[in-house]
Amino acid sequence: MALIGELSETHFSDLIQLYVTGRQTAAVWLTAPNHEEGVFYVLQGDVVDAQLGPLVGRDAIRRALSLSGGSFRVEPDVVAPSRTIHQKWTHVLLDELVKLDEEQQRLSGKAVPAPPQPRASKARGPGPTPTPAPVPLAARGETGALEPAPAPAMPTPTATPPPLALTPPAVPLAAAPPVPLAATAPPVPEPEKEAAPLFSKPPSRALWASPAGRAALVGASVAVIVAGFVLASQKRSGLARPAYGLAGVEPTPTASSPELLLGMSAAFSGANREIGRGMKTGLELAFAAANEAGGVGGRKLRLVALDDGNEPSRAAPAMRELLDDRKVFAVVGSVGSAGAAAALPLALERKVVYFGAMAGGDVLRRSPPDRYVFNFRPGYGEEAAAAVRYLTKVRRFEPEELAFFGQDDGYGEAGWNGLARELDREGKSAHAVLRTGYRRNTADVGKAVAKIRKKKGLKAVVMLATYEPASRFIQALKESGSHLVYTNASAVEAGVLAERLMEARVPLADDVVVTQVVPLPTSQASSVIEYRRLLATHAQGENPGPLSLEGYLAGRLFVEALKRAGPELSGERLVSILEDLHDLDLGIGVRLGFSPSEHQASHKIWGTLLQPNGTYRSVDLE
């Protein structure tokens, strides 16, 4: 679960030390007082990758060490996408503290009262700037990035693209080949060549020479003590996280109780990072509840998450790492249909269960179902069909009054197929429906908007999009004076969509519908109350939302299957247990279950309507 806090209370070095001491793996997200964002990956006790605003590698670390304000959020067990820093953390820390000290002395020595701070002075809003920390101008100078930084959405240097030989899908399922990275991704900066020799002058003297350095060293040692206490108390409460010795079902040699290691791959950086974070949070709530109750079959559940940036080209290597290096028992709650298409062949080849992905694509819903693929949620096709039913039955629109707006990949494709199937079922034809779309990872909605504006008599658009293009699309059409009903699938991220539309002051008139595959997170149903209770205990500061609720419910279902499997656990046994799981009532209004011919637990779809105040209320879809 996320640890969140303020850098004014916990210095960056103290924070990192906490994870270094326990030799843990985690990702640390920072937001600096000037709103720059950054991410630092700790891998088994060493910081291996770093990025902050325009800075990468050790420059980013130095900048982070200089911060005395800003906020942080830590997700344990998120593994770095690549390694750009190869030294031990202790070396890096001392080295950078000294450099920082020198920079600051140089600045104060020049006696420039207020050096121009191009970024910090960029007025982001009213009020005093909360940056008392000296901005390490020199650090910027080194990278020559004084001009506005490139968008920080991309993580730092990605690993070298996987050699083709790495993905030999034994099963000819990879119908959707990985989208070439170069087509959509912004240019990736060169990996930083970190070859600086380990420090020739004695570090301690330089450090103690400055008050800041002394404070930092004292802080670091205090942090070690505090960290020890925290770790000890975590162990006491049965929530210890041994950082290595992860080996699937096998009891780990170092851990006091055996572990069951599960893996997920999702975007933890870039525009879709909230989806990955939400799913992971929810899954961990379910696992935490199971672990608190003594584990399942004598094992504690642990989730390791890899960042695939929502890029299919990275999903396959991530899957390889989960299976080969981490040796996870099963893959649970991965995010993204396109990523699933790329990663799935490997899981199928290794006969590893691929459970509860946050993906409604058809690739995970073959008929008959793939033996090792189990879904919690309905497919995007079912969501689109429910939206069409609502538009034709409740709103009473005709097919020629409908348009379609979809992402140009498996997500949009699954939606279009669902739309066509539903109209067919109603004795109508999808030919009359105007089909438009946009490219994944872009928000180029201009063409689609123009097409829709040109067609007369349209009443509604069935949308299979992500929030960025979706909000722009709705905004553009509304600004052009179109009066349409817009239906969105759950993957749009209802909360962010609402935020965007509210920010843009788009007037709402009961015309934005979002279908959901879980109940409203504000529901008073038993399992949703329990979810909120766990969220408040284990993920303070997180608001309830459909993503983490989906992760939680999928996790509950998975835990239930593990319970039934008992101590004798294998992938094959888990498959038989799952296929024999019927009529499980978690109190979400629908019974969950699987069978050999049915690998999707729920077919239920809830309708929600965005109200003018930016919140959703439920709406009858039938």
Partner 1 sequence: MHALRTPRSSPARWALGVLAMLAAGAASAEVQGVSPTEVTFGMSAAFSGTAKELGRQTRLGFEVAFAGANDAGGIAGRKLHLVALDDNNEPKRAVAVVRELVEAKRVFALVGTVGSAAIQAYLPYLQEKGILMFGSLSGADFLRNDPPDRWVFNFRASYAEETEALVRYLVKVRRFQPAQIAFFEQQDSYGAAGWRGFARQLRRFDADPDHVLRVGYQRNTVDVEAAAKKIRANPHLKAVVMVATHHPAAKLIERLKGMNLVFTNVSAVVGRELGDELARLGPKFAEGVVVTQVVPPPTSRSTAVLKYQEALKKYAPNERPDFLSLEGYLAGQVLLEGLRRAGEKLTTDSLVEALEGIKNLELGIGVPISFGPSEHQGSHKVWGTVLDQAGNFRPLDLE
Q: By CB neighbour count within 10 A (0-12 exposed, 13-18 middle, 19+ buried), where does 436 fall?
A: buried
Residue 46 zone, left/alpha/beta (φ > 0; ψ -120 to 50; rest): beta
Query: What number of helices (H) and strands (E) belong to the chain?
Result: 18, 19
Query: What is d(CA 417, CA 383) in angstroms, rounded to the nearest whole number?
Result: 11
Residue 366 zone, left/alpha/beta (φ > 0; ψ -120 to 50; rest): beta
Q: Is residue 205 a contact point for partner 1 (CB under 8 A)?
A: no
Smallest separation (angstroms) from partner 1 to the CB of 394:
7
* Three-class DSSP category at 249: coil
Smallest separation (angstroms) from partner 1 to the CB of 92:
21
* Three-class DSSP category at 263: strand
Smallest separation (angstroms) from partner 1 to the CB of 223:
7
- Give the helix, strand, coil percentages of the chain, each rounded to 5: 40, 15, 45
Q: Is residue 620 a contact point for partner 1 (CB under 8 A)?
A: yes
Kindly write out the interface string for residues 494-523 of this chain, putting x where it contacts partner 1 by CB under 8 A and - elsewhere.
Answer: -------------------------x---x
- 108, 204, 526, 543: which one contacts partner 1 (CB under 8 A)? 526
In which element (H, E) is residue 171 found?
Answer: none
Query: What is d(CA 214, CA 208) in angstroms, rounded to the nearest whole number?
Result: 5
Smallest separation (angstroms) from partner 1 to the CB of 464:
24
The span of 111-119, 220-228, 377-385, 474-482 binding partner 1 (CB under 8 A) equals 220-228
The span of 6-14, 35-43, 481-489, 571-579 binding partner 1 (CB under 8 A) equals 6-14
- 74, 328, 364, 554: which one contacts partner 1 (CB under 8 A)? 74
Residue closer to partner 1 (CB basis): 366 or 582 = 582
Query: What is d(CA 419, CA 518) in angstroms, rounded to the nearest whole number?
Result: 21
Smallest separation (angstroms) from partner 1 to the CB of 551:
15
- 145, 149, 159, 230: which one contacts partner 1 (CB under 8 A)? 230
Q: Is residue 622 a contact point for partner 1 (CB under 8 A)?
A: yes
Two tokens, residue 234: 């975590």
DSSP conformation letters of 427-486: T--GGGSEEEEE-TT----HHHHHHHHHSTT--EEEEE--HHHHHHHHHHHHHTT---EE
Query: What is d(CA 480, CA 284) in angstroms, rounded to the nearest whole number?
Result: 44
Residue closer to partner 1 (CB basis): 351 or 393 = 393
Q: Within 457-496, which residues bind partner 1 (CB under 8 A)?
A: none
Q: Is residue 527 a contact point for partner 1 (CB under 8 A)?
A: yes
Query: What is d(CA 560, CA 562) in angstroms, rounded to the nearest whole number?
Result: 5
The answer for residues whose C-beta is within 8 angstroms of residue 564's C-beta and 6 or more apart is 577, 581
Residue closer to partner 1 (CB basis): 71 or 129 = 71
Q: Within 532-561, which residues bind partner 1 (CB under 8 A)?
A: 537-538, 540
CA nearest to 269, candidates 118, 443, 62, 56 = 56
Q: Is residue 1 a contact point for partner 1 (CB under 8 A)?
A: yes
Q: Within 562-601, which residues bind partner 1 (CB under 8 A)?
A: 585-591
- 35, 86, 366, 393: which one contacts partner 1 (CB under 8 A)? 393
- 160, 524, 597, 613: which one contacts partner 1 (CB under 8 A)? 524
Instruction: Report the Cα 26 to chain-centroid distance in Å.
Output: 14
Read off the amino acid at residue 494.
Answer: A
- 108, 233, 480, 543: which one contacts partner 1 (CB under 8 A)? 233
Smallest separation (angstroms) from partner 1 to the CB of 620:
7
Q: Within 275-304, which residues bind partner 1 (CB under 8 A)?
A: 284, 288
Q: Is residue 25 a contact point for partner 1 (CB under 8 A)?
A: no
Query: What is d(CA 582, CA 595) in angstroms, rounded to the nearest whole number?
Result: 8
CA nearest to 103, candidates 243, 485, 568, 95 = 95
Q: Is residue 361 a contact point for partner 1 (CB under 8 A)?
A: no
Q: Is residue 437 a contact point for partner 1 (CB under 8 A)?
A: no
The span of 156-164, 224-232, 542-550, 554-562 binding partner 1 (CB under 8 A) equals 224-232
The answer for residues whose C-beta is within 8 angstroms of residue 105's C-beta and 6 or more apart is 210
Q: Is residue 70 a contact point for partner 1 (CB under 8 A)?
A: no
Residue closer to partner 1 (CB basis): 16 or 154 = 16
CA nearest to 2, candidates 548, 546, 412, 455 = 548
Read off the amino acid at residue 488.
Answer: N
* Three-class DSSP category at 403: strand
- 126, 229, 454, 456: which one contacts partner 1 (CB under 8 A)? 229
Length of the chain: 622
Residue 505 zone, left/alpha/beta (φ > 0; ψ -120 to 50; rest): left
Q: Is residue 255 a contact point for partner 1 (CB under 8 A)?
A: no
Total residues at interface with partner 1 (CB under 8 A) = 47
Nearest-Å Rg of the Cα atoms of the chain is 25
Q: Is residue 394 a contact point for partner 1 (CB under 8 A)?
A: yes
Two tokens, residue 510: 């009961």
Strands of 22-142 (E only): list them: 26-31, 37-43, 46-52, 55-56, 71-76, 78-79
Smallest separation (angstroms) from partner 1 to the CB of 19:
11
The span of 339-347, 390-398, 436-444, 556-564 binding partner 1 (CB under 8 A) equals 390-398
Residue closer to partner 1 (CB basis): 31 or 117 = 31
The span of 126-134, 144-152, 231-239, 574-582 binding partner 1 (CB under 8 A) equals 231-239
The span of 160-168, 195-203, 457-465, 526-534 binding partner 1 (CB under 8 A) equals 526-534
The answer to whether the CB of 374 falls within 8 A of the CB of 383 is no
Smallest separation (angstroms) from partner 1 to the CB of 170:
38
Smallest separation (angstroms) from partner 1 to the CB of 292:
9
- 47, 223, 353, 559: which one contacts partner 1 (CB under 8 A)? 223
Smallest separation (angstroms) from partner 1 to the CB of 399:
16
Residue closer to partner 1 (CB basis): 1 or 262 = 1
Q: Is residue 446 a contact point for partner 1 (CB under 8 A)?
A: no
What are the residues binding partner 1 (CB under 8 A)? 1-6, 9-10, 14, 18, 74, 76, 223, 226-227, 229-230, 233-234, 239, 284, 288, 393-394, 396, 519, 523-529, 537-538, 540, 585-591, 606, 618, 620, 622
